[in-house]
Structure 1
Amino acid sequence: MTSETVAALLARSNRLGADPRNTNYAGGNTSAKGTEIDPVTGGPVELLWVKGSGGDLGTLKESGLAVLRLDRLHGLVDVYPGVEREDEMVAAFDYCLHGRGGAAPSIDTAMHGLVDAAHVDHLHPDSGIALATAADGEALTKECFGDKVVWIPWRRPGFQLGLDIAAVKEAHPQAIGCILGGHGITAWGATAEECEARSLEIIRTAEKFIATRGAAEPFGAVVDGFSPLPENQRHAKAAALAPVIRGLASTDKPQVGHYTDSDVVLDFLSREKLAPLAALGTSCPDHFLRTKVRPLVVDLPSTASVEEIVARLSELHAEYREEYQAYYDRHATPDSPALRGADPAIVLVPGVGMFSFGANKQTARVAGEFYVNAINVMRGAEAISTYAPIAESEKFRIEYWALEEAKLQRMPKPKALVGRVALVTGAASGIGKAIAARFAAEGACVVIADLDLEKANAAAAELGSSDVAVGVAANVTDAAGVKAAFDAAALAFGGVDLVVNNAGLSISKPLADTTEADWDLLHDVLAKGSFLVSKEAARVMTAQKMGGDILYISSKNSVFAGPNNVAYSAAKADQAHQVRLLAAELGEHGIRVNGINPDGVVRGSGIFAGGWGASRAAVYGVPEEDLGKFYAQRTLLKREVLPDHVANAAFALVGGELTHTTGLHVPVDAGVAAAFLR
């Protein structure tokens, strides 16, 4: 049963975390102290509930709290070995835990446990960090708050910082909190309500101070030629650049992308201080752990062509990697973790926007959100002073902290398709929907492309948030529509790696009854549609230089001659040969092209539900509801084929075990001897 103390802590945390003005995603932590009955002694025990390592205040639940005994936590003061052995204290927190379960204690636990207050908030508001990173932040803190808020110079998070804050509170009984140089804010109170009110007072007072005292144009004037492009031009340019940038950002390991063109970003990219401020990098540890120490900035105007930007990006990326390696070499010690990759996490293109990258979509999106926080911080600091982030050496100590490395090593092994982006046509139902679901379950980001946008969006929503899947309208017979779908994929996830040609329909008629319109429709959707989709896929994948997979959902009918099926089977045979032709052509780019030949997939099939089932049932003289069973009985295995079985084959072809296979057709038909490939 959740105690009143814990319930109040969670409610306060959720309120604070829900407002981005108060703290960034997953940033900061909150705590409460209270008394409970120790089940071992039956007597009272003083406890600390504090947000544990990881998690987000806005969505914090009781399972995300670490629970520690205060007497044991205070006892660590007597054995603290000093800042040179700071990291040992995190392991020591484990010996202070009360009971089982809960989250692992974070590096900030000491800040909460040692401060003599029942409730403590540590937050990363943009306004507070602006003061914390101002060159004369200490004087400005005094001017802004008087003696109600105390300045504490930069110190890396840890046990000593907890001791420092505890000492400041004791020495300044009138204070409601402090500004942590280069970092954020901490506030305290006797009750949950008082603590929350004080946190908000510090944040809102800092906001008002910056707004009233600050310069009108802290980033300088708009540079001629660097103004934002109109939205349609901006998005078209972003879609063209995204795969190229993603490929560069994935030089060391595959990354998913996120595109941001908010007013905050576009304004920063247009200003004269863009280059010098970006070069200084971010300051708050939460920021640069996700954005790296600095972004890659394209030094060309908004009017530069895509070709000019692509050429310059190649040069800037090489320079960025050299500079990042030099940064690592300047500060690494024999005990430092190995370099984790030298590619940028943030790429800024004036007039166009920001591209952020991460191992998955959420990480990429959050990296972008953190850089927006950093822009706000720089604006605030420049408005009232000069932006002065913590030293590069301190950034390195945190980015390559042994504790941070240990946290990364504890993360579970990623799923097979993490970091890959799939676009599946005809994916709102049947085989396409099953493939999309399987790819998403294996970690891929998925674009559900379908003729019916409403159904595409609904199918995407079933898979999860927009970090997992998005729906797009796609008429595969229209080249412009196909390009628009791939552009949407580029803006959503940075590009595409897995493309499944699944969109289709079927018409079953004898030759004499097959019209020219029937023939044209089937060949437009199946043959021409696959051609257009594959052509666009090859363009994007070639630009990314990351290889890729193109799958064709063909049919047993591509090799089996059945009755009353000339237009459909001929179009499927066209698809089947496209697999062989494109495998031969695209192999030099690392793009593999394979096919799947299903048969008898009745249940869950949009094609069969649309009249094909009734037509085929009539041909074979069986009730339509028994068609699946009929198909099963004519197979060698006597098993009905379902959409999930086709999805299993699709995953087998792209999941990493068949890396040297291209030009293959895999039958998923439960065994139809007449369709054996020869």
Structure 2
Amino acid sequence: MAKDIAAGHIENQWDAGKAASMSEPEKLLYRSNLLGSDKRVTNYGGGNTSAKVMQPDPLTGEDVEVLWVKGSGGDIGSIDMAGFATLYMDKLRALKGKYRGVEYEDEMVGYLPHSTFNLNPRAASIDTPLHAYVAKKHVDHVHPDAVIAIAASENSKELTQEIYGEAIGWLPWKKPGYELGLWLEDFCVKNPDAKGVVLESHGLFTWADDAEECYKLTLDTINRAIEWFGEKTADVPAFGGEVHEALPAEDRRRVAAALMPAIRGMISEGSHKVGHFDDQDAVLQFVGAKDMERLAMLGTSCPDHFLRTKIRPLVVDFDPANPDVDGTLDKLKGMVEDYRADYAAYYDRCKYDNSPAMRDPNAVVYLVPGVGMITFAKDKATARISGEFYVNAINVMRNSDAVSTYQGLPEQEAFDIEYWLLEEAKLQRMPKPKALAGRIAIVTGGAGGIGAATAEKYLSEGACVILADIDAEALGATHENLAGRYSKDVVRIVEMNVTSEDAVAAAYAEMAVEFGGVDIVVSNAGIASSAKVEDTTLDLWNKNMSILSTGYFLVSREAFKMLKTQGIGGSMIFVASKNGLAASPGASAYCTAKASEIHLARCLALEGAPEGIRVNTVNPDAVLRGSKIWSGEWLDQRASTYGTDKGGLEEMYRERSLLKRSVFPEDIAAACYFFASDESAKSTGNIINVDAGNVQSFTR
């Protein structure tokens, strides 16, 4: 396995021994995954790869030439074999006879399904002709930062020739589509010795007749650009030099924690957004630089960058030398409104009679001098990926502006990409969002049975979840389980003692930075104790009240602060107990604390209603499975109280219920989901008993 060791070079990871036994489609997959594994080669979902392969026709049995190409919407870094579209090359060549000219090129996408080989259901991407009409067996199209820096420069053609000579050609900007495929074909015919081409303001195409050769050529082309920029920019101050020194890391997160819920509230009117914060070195260098605002206003160049990050970012008016967070918050609404007005004006200037209606006019990217970059999107993964795309754009701007003059896409071209009817059709095909998409939840006692089940229910319905618990070991295990099944993007953990004001405040600050705010608060942290009143010590009494009453108060108080900052409502759910309504022998401290929770919820329902904050209670009973409470002394004590052993306690609880059924964590989670979802949008101050029926706890 060869390895490039030059500083900054992308490593050649091709393993010839491993590839020797692969078929041509398998080599295509291998090459694609290797290229997509490095963000310097291409972004998530960006670029595409292809191979022309001889295969037997399923009808005739005769060998035919088949184009394997990344399907629409795929990602080469994570693609599998099912992610490739397969098309007959003879039919793709025949499509030229249907082409009526550039003004009709979008209709060519509708012909691609007629070229499908072997009934492959994977939809072909609009870039298919760009691969089909290059007369080489293997083609790579990627978006490397170093090459886009060439492509986005004012004199990109001259730079391409200076760096690559005649080996790599250049084509002017052209929107992806059928016409560009014909341009590429024409270039290849006229330049038979060329090994690739730089597309202005777009990216790189390379080609070869061997899979490994094509992979190596792609890396060599990128590494040549990296090396060239390294030589040319070594002594050039990035972005005109630093004018704002970055705040210390702890202060950066503190500022982000203050700004993100406020921004989120302002931009979530149409649909809830999830945030992502990035303060890596490349971001800090950019947001603290002299030329940051000038470059940011030019927008991004590569269409993939642009689609993920919008026409331009919003630069937050913040001076890290005089960090007045309150003053910035006071001005923030005006900044957001100005951005919306600017976006609406852009839409009005560029729209056509048949353009789709204006979409969300809010910024995706927010740049904060001395602090970092905040991105907001419909879900956490999209917010994170949008940030990654803008980091790619930062890398492009740094190199391009150091050797030339950086240029973004012309405004009309940018609009034509953003509001492309084909792009709109793709958006319309997207699946309907899940019920809790864009929502952010915190679950205290998140490592226990009820807490983990509730978190899982929320995750399954599209929410992001913070698991808070005092038990670090159990918290880690629950996180590993849920993150492994729902992705690490959507699950975070925080060790939190609900009786500590500082710990609770820190947990909410962490949630603000990680996800942008909060929508759903599940107070579930708990203990249980059993003792006759004369045996109840003051310490035991205070422990119950501290965790079950004061803890719920502290969690609620911080929640109200953040929910009111956002101004978009929210839902709080108290997991109380049947014992809060129905007294039990030998458990006065526990029952009283649980009754306190229920009444606190009623009080908060009154206070929260004007702000759209709903507060409701779920009362479980005898949820033994998965519960940490029922694994210790409480189990022994309750078994003793009712004159049974551990094995018979669940049966005893089941038989005493009206419905004669056991209650499980998932049952409580279902009730917590109901109160968190829009299904209960008109409910507050309510109680749901999930106890299989207990006449003493009937609400009245």
Q: Normalising by structure 1, what TM-score?
A: 0.98
Alignment-mate amino acid for residue 26 of structure 2: A
Q: What does the per-residue CA deviation read over 1:484-505, in whole Å, with 9 as the maximum and x for residues that have no partner?
A: 1111111111111101000000
Match of 1:237 in 2: 255
The answer to whether the Cα contact below 8 Å between 1:448 and 1:469 also exists between their aligned partners in 2 is: yes
Match of 1:330 in 2: 349
From 168, 186, 207, give the equivalent of 1:167. Answer: 186
Q: Secondary structure at the match of 1:86?
A: helix
Q: Secondary structure at the match of 2:277?
A: strand
Match of 2:325 in 1: 306
Moved more, 52-61 or 112-121: 52-61
Match of 1:268 in 2: 286
How much does 1:3 deviate? 6.8
Within a 5 Å distance, the mapping from 1:516-555 to structure 2 comes to 516-555=538-577
Alignment-mate amino acid for residue 612 of structure 1: W
- Do residues 500 (structure 1) and 522 (structure 2) align? yes
- Do residues 641 (structure 1) and 663 (structure 2) align? yes
- Do residues 220 (structure 1) and 240 (structure 2) align? yes
Alignment-mate amino acid for residue 494 of structure 2: V
- Do residues 370 (structure 1) and 389 (structure 2) align? yes
From 159, 163, 172, give the equivalent of 1:140. Answer: 159
Distance 2:83 2:167 in 1: 31
Alignment-mate amino acid for residue 120 of structure 2: G
Within a 5 Å distance, the mapping from 1:385-404 to structure 2 comes to 385-404=404-423
Distance 1:97 1:208 in 2: 41
How much does 1:33 deviate? 0.3
Q: What does the per-residue CA deviation read over 1:404-450, in whole Å, with 9 as the maximum and x for residues that have no partner?
A: 11111111111100100110000112111110111111110010101
How much does 1:42 deviate? 1.4
Q: What does the per-residue CA deviation read over 1:465-518, in whole Å, with 9 as the maximum and x for residues that have no partner?
A: 321211110100001001111111111111111010000001100001100000
How much does 1:561 deviate? 1.4
From 467, 474, 498, give the equivalent of 2:489. Answer: 467
How much does 1:217 deviate? 1.2
How much does 1:253 deviate? 1.9
Q: What does the per-residue CA deviation read over 1:186-238, in whole Å, with 9 as the maximum and x for residues that have no partner?
A: 00001011111111111111111111123611401211xx2110011111111
The answer to whether the Cα contact below 8 Å between 2:578 and 2:691 also exists between their aligned partners in 1 is: yes
Distance 1:237 1:301 in 2: 11
Match of 2:627 in 1: 605
How much does 1:252 deviate? 3.0
Distance 2:120 2:66 in 1: 15
Moved more, 161-170 or 29-38: 161-170
Match of 1:252 in 2: 270
Moved more, 280-289 or 453-462: 453-462
Match of 2:31 in 1: 12
Match of 2:229 in 1: 210
Alignment-mate amino acid for residue 308 of structure 2: R
The answer to whether the Cα contact below 8 Å between 1:252 and 1:343 also exists between their aligned partners in 2 is: no
Distance 2:338 2:328 in 1: 15
The answer to whether the Cα contact below 8 Å between 2:318 and 2:324 also exists between their aligned partners in 1 is: no
- Do residues 591 (structure 1) and 613 (structure 2) align? yes
Q: What does the per-residue CA deviation read over 1:555-604, in whole Å, with 9 as the maximum and x for residues that have no partner?
A: 11111111101100110011000110000001111110000111111111
Alignment-mate amino acid for residue 150 of structure 1: G
The answer to whether the Cα contact below 8 Å between 2:443 and 2:465 also exists between their aligned partners in 1 is: yes
- Do residues 103 (structure 1) and 122 (structure 2) align? yes
From 547, 556, 560, give the equivalent of 2:582. Answer: 560
Distance 1:85 1:274 in 2: 39
From 395, 398, 407, give the equivalent of 1:379. Answer: 398
- Do residues 512 (structure 1) and 556 (structure 2) align? no
The answer to whether the Cα contact below 8 Å between 2:166 and 2:194 also exists between their aligned partners in 1 is: yes
Within a 5 Å distance, the mapping from 1:646-661 to structure 2 comes to 646-661=668-683
How much does 1:304 deviate? 2.7
Distance 2:399 2:474 in 1: 45
The answer to whether the Cα contact below 8 Å between 1:124 and 1:184 also exists between their aligned partners in 2 is: yes
The answer to whether the Cα contact below 8 Å between 2:277 and 2:373 also exists between their aligned partners in 1 is: yes
From 359, 373, 387, give the equivalent of 1:340. Answer: 359
The answer to whether the Cα contact below 8 Å between 1:554 and 1:598 also exists between their aligned partners in 2 is: yes
From 428, 442, 449, give the equivalent of 1:409. Answer: 428
Match of 1:580 in 2: 602
Distance 1:626 1:405 in 2: 61
The answer to whether the Cα contact below 8 Å between 1:281 and 1:293 also exists between their aligned partners in 2 is: yes
Alignment-mate amino acid for residue 222 of structure 1: E
Q: What does the per-residue CA deviation read over 1:79-111, in whole Å, with 9 as the maximum and x for residues that have no partner?
A: 111111111111111110012234211111000
From 633, 651, 656, give the equivalent of 1:629. Answer: 651
The answer to whether the Cα contact below 8 Å between 1:65 and 1:102 also exists between their aligned partners in 2 is: no
Q: Secondary structure at the match of 1:87?
A: helix
The answer to whether the Cα contact below 8 Å between 2:170 and 2:197 also exists between their aligned partners in 1 is: yes
Match of 2:94 in 1: 75
Match of 2:14 in 1: none
Distance 1:617 1:475 in 2: 29
Alignment-mate amino acid for residue 489 of structure 2: D
Distance 1:454 1:614 in 2: 24
Alignment-mate amino acid for residue 603 of structure 2: L
Alignment-mate amino acid for residue 580 of structure 2: S
Match of 2:4 in 1: none
Distance 2:306 2:409 in 1: 11
Match of 2:15 in 1: none
Q: What does the per-residue CA deviation read over 1:366-423, in whole Å, with 9 as the maximum and x for residues that have no partner?
A: 0000010110011111011000122110111111111111111111111100100110
The answer to whether the Cα contact below 8 Å between 2:138 and 2:210 also exists between their aligned partners in 1 is: yes
The answer to whether the Cα contact below 8 Å between 1:417 and 1:439 also exists between their aligned partners in 2 is: yes
Distance 1:537 1:565 in 2: 30
Distance 1:132 1:556 in 2: 67
Alignment-mate amino acid for residue 236 of structure 2: A
Alignment-mate amino acid for residue 509 of structure 1: A
How much does 1:300 deviate? 2.5
Moved more, 226-235 or 318-327: 226-235
From 618, 628, 642, give the equivalent of 1:620. Answer: 642
How much does 1:249 deviate? 2.8
How much does 1:299 deviate? 2.6
How much does 1:275 deviate? 0.8
Alignment-mate amino acid for residue 239 of structure 2: F
The answer to whether the Cα contact below 8 Å between 1:252 and 1:342 also exists between their aligned partners in 2 is: no
Match of 1:282 in 2: 300
* Runs of 5+ consecutive residues of structure 1 not aligned to the other structure: none
Distance 2:517 2:86 in 1: 43
The count of aligned residue pairs is 675
From 112, 123, 137, give the equivalent of 1:118. Answer: 137
Distance 1:404 1:33 in 2: 27
Alignment-mate amino acid for residue 633 of structure 1: E
Deviating above 3 A after TM superposition, structure 1's stretches of 4 or more consecutive aligned residues are: none
Distance 2:367 2:471 in 1: 35
From 91, 105, 111, give the equivalent of 2:110. Answer: 91
Q: Secondary structure at the match of 2:593?
A: helix
Distance 1:461 1:284 in 2: 37
Q: Secondary structure at the match of 1:561?
A: coil
Q: Aligned-residue CA RMSD in angstroms?
A: 1.1
The answer to whether the Cα contact below 8 Å between 2:299 and 2:409 also exists between their aligned partners in 1 is: no
Distance 2:522 2:648 in 1: 29
From 174, 182, 194, give the equivalent of 1:155. Answer: 174
Distance 2:608 2:332 in 1: 25
